[in-house]
Amino acid sequence: MDITGIIKIIEKEAKVCNLLRPSRKREYVDARRILYYFLRNFHFLNYQEIGDLCGNRNHATILHSLKYFDFLLKTDFKFRVIYNNVREQTGGRQSEIEELTQQIATLELELLTIKLMQNELQV
């Protein structure tokens, strides 16, 4: 999906108008965080490119914003709902990071199972 389509979906889900306007209201900041995450993880843009596309923001602004994305996804229900709705409307796929994290968790579980089976055989 193209970037303008993603912006429209985020604006609709977050209930904000003109997502890229220079507002520090929480709903705008969180909506931009979701946009930055999509641009970084699905369009593979670097921080400077994201900043340039999003109103000439500094790359450090993008980095700082993305730094708290995972924390908010785990702790803020409203943020998680908005993100999940946007992800579903943009194709429902996971980012490479999410896929790798899921694969690692599966492999860790398999390794634990193997270790438990080995311990049972030794006893």
- pLDDT value for 96: 72
Range of the domain at 99: 94-123
Regarding whether 47 and 86 lie in a shared domain, the answer is: yes
Q: How far lies 51's CA from each of 40, 46, 80, in Å? A: 11, 9, 23
- Residue 101 scores a pLDDT above 90: no
Cβ-based burial of 36 (10 A; exposed 0-12, middle 13-18, buried ≥19): buried
Six token digits for residue 92:
């429902």
Regarding whether 106 and 81 lie in a shared domain, the answer is: no
Regarding whether 62 and 43 lie in a shared domain, the answer is: yes
N- to C-terminal Cα distance for the chain?
55
Section 8-18 average pLDDT: 94
Section 43-56 average pLDDT: 91
Regarding whether 105 and 79 lie in a shared domain, the answer is: no
Regarding whether 120 and 74 lie in a shared domain, the answer is: no
| Residue 26, domain CATH | 1.10.1750.10
Q: What is the pLDDT of residues 64-75, one digit of tens each?
A: 999 999 899 999
- Residue 94 scores a pLDDT above 80: no
Regarding whether 53 and 98 lie in a shared domain, the answer is: no
Regarding whether 99 and 82 lie in a shared domain, the answer is: no
Regarding whether 77 and 109 lie in a shared domain, the answer is: no
- pLDDT value for 123: 66
Regarding whether 119 and 79 lie in a shared domain, the answer is: no
Q: What are phi and psi of 3, to 5 degrees?
A: -65, -40
Report the number of distinct structural domains present in the chain: 2
